Structure 1
Amino acid sequence: MEQTRAFVMRLKMKEKPAQLVVICFLLFIDGFVAVLNCSSPTRKALYHALEKELLPIKGVLPRNNFTESLEVTISITVVGLLGVDEKAQTMTIVIWQILEWQIEGLSWDKDKCGAERLSIPREMLWVPDVQIGEFMDEDISPKTPYVYLHNTGYVYDDKPLRVVSSCRLEIYSFPFDVQNCSLTFGAYVHFASDIQMIQGATAEEILEESRQVIATNGEWELVGLSVTPFTLALQESYSEVRYDIVIRRRPTIYVVNLLIPSCFLVTVDLFSFFLPPHSVDRGSFKMTLILGYTVFLLIMNDLLPVTGETTPLINVFFCLSLALMVASLLETVFITNIQFSSSQYSAVPKWLSILVLQYIAVVVCLPPKKKSNRVTVFLNQNTREPAMDPNISSVSRSETFSSDETSVKPPPTPPIPLLPSAHPEPALDELKRLSRDLTAIRLQIDNHFKGTNSSQEWQMIGMVMDRLLFWLYIIFIIASFITIICIWIWNNSYSV
């Protein structure tokens, strides 16, 4: 100090303008820079000098001019992606937080004090109150009690943080979803006029370093990161830096455990349409599939995300698959009932017949069957015999029968000469009765297989509805596969 004043007096005597500028600079340095005086070039002497200098002012901002803000530089490195809770809408990650700031007016000579930098306890100096705005839980990461202090007054603070932050999760495309979660760093109390947050490393540098040191290889992977410094304007302005962390879910476990088994069960139900309903109990087979699919969904329910805002697309897929299975079971019951009870139905409504047999049948490539023109012919040699009843339900020797409306009565044939016998008339009567019985049996069998026009229409409607549901199954499976493949490709090609 005395040497400086002597130098100033000599310059004043010479009165040179350039030297006056040097005088002012030296006075400024002498008044605002506190150079530590170490008694010896040892760390112990430096520590005592710092303790004497820093402890009295550790409770206030380390700046000489209160009209200027203190610049705090921040950088982060993502070292772990622990998981995402869709129900609580939170993300859990582990990061390294690096804060850097300058203590104005503090410096020392590294040669006289014996060290260029020194690790000192946090309690010895002022530390900025930088917090994460999205913090949702207590930080349980290990504490680092020391910071680095350089001989120029530069402070380097690096510490790990286990962050449980709130995040607006979009799970519509689960399990092929990509999430964008933000971490906003800023002073909790100090305004922008007191502390100014400055971005440190660029987003590309942070992303590259994070990919090199990331320690987890679980369900999520880091795919992108961006940094945005901004000022939050409330009643007062707050300086903040926001990091947008983009993470992507690895969908393999969900494809193997959820989608593929579900597609297998739906495909098996699709092939069950090839079972003939008139000879195989298709309903029992489909009911077994529905029970198996329900048990599968109950077991895998824990793997599905639960939120109150949006419904994942995979949940819609499972619901539609179950709905189609139930619809196919009901359709099988309808067809089975038609096969065995259509003769008791009333005539098909005209509008239903036109809609199903003329329009839907063409759409599903199932043209209506032509009506049978089969004619049943029987012989009745004795026109004097009573006519036969077409509605007969049993055969008896004492009953008489006649043909239906489509039966044609041929002309009487000439009598067959009988062999000489003692009693020809009883034999001829027996043959006539046998002929009537055989004709009645033939009529009953023919009416049973041919059925009435009404029952034929009902059976045709059942076949059309069966084919319609079969094509709906195929369309649903194709659309589901195309959607899954497209979303998976988009998920793998995503980049910031």
Structure 2
Amino acid sequence: MYLLMFAFASIGWVSAFTNCEESTVYGTAYKALFEHLGLNKTDVPKTHQLPYFMDPPTEVYVDLYVTSIIEVNEKAQSLSTQVKMMTAWINNMEWQYDQFCGIDAVPATKDMFWTPDIIIKESIKTEFGTKESPYLQLLWWDLSVSVDILALTTACKMDLYRFPFDTQICNITLHSAVHSIDELTIDPFSDNKNITHESKEFFQAQGEWELLSIDASKSNATLLDYLQDLLIYKITIKRRPLLYVINIIIPVFFFLVLDVMSFFIDASGADKLSFKVTLLLSISVLLLILNDTLPSTANAIPLIGIYCSVIFSLIGFSILETILVSFLMAKGAEKRSVENTAAVSGRDDIVRDLHNSPDSVRDQNGMQRSLCWIRVARIIDVTFLVLYLMTIIVFLTMLGKSWVSY
């Protein structure tokens, strides 16, 4: 492994020998090496074969660096990234670099050599991020190195329950297209810490998502009726929730605060009911506008969906309570109005004498009945407000614990 790391570090490096300072001498040495390796020939059948000159299986080493997170599609359950994949394997193109002016690396065309048939299991769409390089690098001690920039769209099963405070883990599984584990094995070239560090160094664009880590692990599976070696890269990304907090969570919460404050509006008029209905319509329009923003999943309702639905329902129940209280207040006012009208119409004289005392008693009873309706309405209003506040506090506390416990 240490020799491989040294080999990668030496790609493109040419030793400065005193007898090779002149360009003509160096060019002659380069041409001689080219002919020594047989790269000047058009038919080199042995180079297209799996390198069995050593004991099988053939070992292939891979490093996968994520350089950009292009798109995370929650509805399609897919992840689009740009990655840099470095592949190294042993070949039979060895030479003594001190015999060729210290030339320890030679570029050669890929179509002259066997290259690992590595494919990505989760791939939905794979393209080269730039034009595919037709070359690979040959190192002096039997090592071939290929570097590719790929634009990948891979399937990723996402857990959106804690959206937008969610962390997603997506796998990129590498395996051979046709070779079994007895013929070809795939191993990570670097450790997980180095892969994560280098990926963050190479990172060009991440937008809404933050790259947390990349972990490589080995596995095997039966594919095409035989056992194959698998190299699994587990990519962990975390969503930046600020946009959704500002555009969804805070506005919906503000509507709830306004609904609570509406309990201090006089219930005897129609202003309170109109205000609450306006709030319900406003939150309905907001949810319709944000319909494309909120994720859809068949497994479980995201917490943000529960958040919006419960607040919508609470405001709806609050409107029903306001209608009931307004009805009771109107009933009491109607009773009082009827009794007052009857008392005034029965007074034909300016001053009543003691014979009219039964009418006074009836007036007092009517007044008490009207006050009873109003008193019941106020008790219901206060009781509902207390229960309403308790429900909101308990709901938001439980939701907050579930939402941010990640």
Select the residue among 182, 194, 197 that pairs with 1:205.
194
- The corresponding residue for 2:124 is 136
How much does 1:445 deviate?
A: 5.3
- The corresponding residue for 1:194 is 183
How much does 1:45 deviate?
A: 3.9
Select the residue among 22, 31, 39 that pairs with 1:44.
31
Q: After TM superposition, list the pairs within 5 Å mapping 1:169-248 onto structure 2.
A: 169-234=158-223, 235-248=225-238
Select the residue among 443, 449, 463 that pairs with 2:367.
449
Select the residue among 111, 126, 129 that pairs with 2:114.
126
Q: Which runs of 5+ in 2 are unaligned?
A: 1-26
* Structure 1 letter corresponding to 2:389: I
CA contact (8 A) 1:41 1:112 kept: no
Aligned partner of residue 137 in structure 1, secondary structure: strand
For residues 11-70 of structure 1, give each alpha carbon's deviation from its aligned partner in whole angstroms, at most 9, with x where no partner exists.
xxxxxxxxxxxxxxxxxxxxxxxxxxxxx84333433422439732233102225x6110
CA contact (8 A) 1:54 1:125 kept: no
Q: After TM superposition, list the pairs within 5 Å mapping 1:356-371 onto structure 2.
A: none
- The corresponding residue for 1:107 is 94
CA contact (8 A) 2:60 2:187 kept: yes
- The corresponding residue for 2:345 is 395
TM-score (norm 1): 0.68
Note closer, same or farther for the CA distance 1:162–1:297 as it changes in structure 2 (3 Å cut). same
Answer with 1 or 2: which has the greater Rg: 1
Alpha-carbon distance between aligned partners in 2 of 1:450 and 1:311, rounded to the nearest angstrom: 51
CA RMSD of aligned residues (A): 3.1
How much does 1:291 deviate?
A: 1.1
* Structure 1 letter corresponding to 2:253: C
Q: Does 1:469 align with 2:384?
A: yes
Q: Does 1:61 align with 2:11?
A: no
For residues 312-346 of structure 1, give each alpha carbon's deviation from its aligned partner in whole angstroms, at most 9, with x where no partner exists.
1011110111111111111111111112226999x
Alpha-carbon distance between aligned partners in 2 of 1:280 and 1:193, rounded to the nearest angstrom: 82
For residues 253-293 of structure 1, give each alpha carbon's deviation from its aligned partner in whole angstroms, at most 9, with x where no partner exists.
11111111111110000111122312453111101111111
Aligned partner of residue 64 in structure 2, secondary structure: strand
Name the stretch that deviates more: 111-120 or 194-203.
111-120
CA contact (8 A) 1:78 1:214 kept: yes
CA contact (8 A) 1:176 1:487 kept: no
Alpha-carbon distance between aligned partners in 2 of 1:248 and 1:390, rounded to the nearest angstrom: 69
Alpha-carbon distance between aligned partners in 2 of 1:146 and 1:448, rounded to the nearest angstrom: 101
Alpha-carbon distance between aligned partners in 2 of 1:306 and 1:148, rounded to the nearest angstrom: 46
CA contact (8 A) 2:175 2:231 kept: yes
Aligned partner of residue 470 in structure 1, secondary structure: helix
CA contact (8 A) 1:395 1:440 kept: no
CA contact (8 A) 1:395 1:437 kept: no
- The corresponding residue for 1:79 is 67
For residues 49-93 of structure 1, give each alpha carbon's deviation from its aligned partner in whole angstroms, at most 9, with x where no partner exists.
22439732233102225x611000111111111221111101111
For residues 418-462 of structure 1, give each alpha carbon's deviation from its aligned partner in whole angstroms, at most 9, with x where no partner exists.
xxxxxxxxxxxx67x64479968855654443217xx82x65554
Note closer, same or farther for the CA distance 1:441–1:271 as it changes in structure 2 (3 Å cut). farther
Q: Does 1:257 align with 2:244?
A: no
- The corresponding residue for 1:117 is 105
For residues 233-261 of structure 1, give each alpha carbon's deviation from its aligned partner in whole angstroms, at most 9, with x where no partner exists.
35311011101111100011111111111
Select the residue among 259, 275, 278 that pairs with 2:268.
278
Alpha-carbon distance between aligned partners in 1 of 2:358 and 2:340, rounded to the nearest angstrom: 8
CA contact (8 A) 1:397 1:437 kept: no
Alpha-carbon distance between aligned partners in 2 of 1:277 and 1:479, rounded to the nearest angstrom: 27
Select the residue among 331, 346, 352 that pairs with 1:341.
331
Alpha-carbon distance between aligned partners in 2 of 1:446 and 1:80, rounded to the nearest angstrom: 81
* Structure 2 letter corresponding to 1:306: S
Note closer, same or farther for the CA distance 1:464–1:390 as it changes in structure 2 (3 Å cut). closer
CA contact (8 A) 2:343 2:359 kept: no
How much does 1:477 deviate?
A: 3.3
Q: Which runs of 5+ in 1 are unaligned?
A: 1-39, 346-388, 399-429, 492-496
How much does 1:489 deviate?
A: 4.9
How much does 1:392 deviate?
A: 5.0
TM-score (norm 2): 0.82
- The corresponding residue for 1:406 is none
Aligned partner of residue 42 in structure 1, secondary structure: helix
Q: Identify the structure with the greater strand proportion.
A: 2
Bigger relative contact order (CA 8 A; separation at least 6): 2
Alpha-carbon distance between aligned partners in 1 of 2:384 and 2:218, rounded to the nearest angstrom: 57
Note closer, same or farther for the CA distance 1:72–1:84 as it changes in structure 2 (3 Å cut). same
Name the stretch that deviates more: 328-337 or 211-220.
211-220
Aligned partner of residue 168 in structure 2, secondary structure: strand
How much does 1:301 deviate?
A: 2.1
Aligned partner of residue 120 in structure 1, secondary structure: strand
How much does 1:180 deviate?
A: 0.8
- The corresponding residue for 1:294 is 284
* Structure 1 letter corresponding to 2:136: V
CA contact (8 A) 1:396 1:437 kept: no
- The corresponding residue for 2:139 is 150
CA contact (8 A) 2:71 2:80 kept: yes
Q: Does 1:307 align with 2:290?
A: no
Q: Does 1:329 align with 2:247?
A: no
- The corresponding residue for 1:8 is none
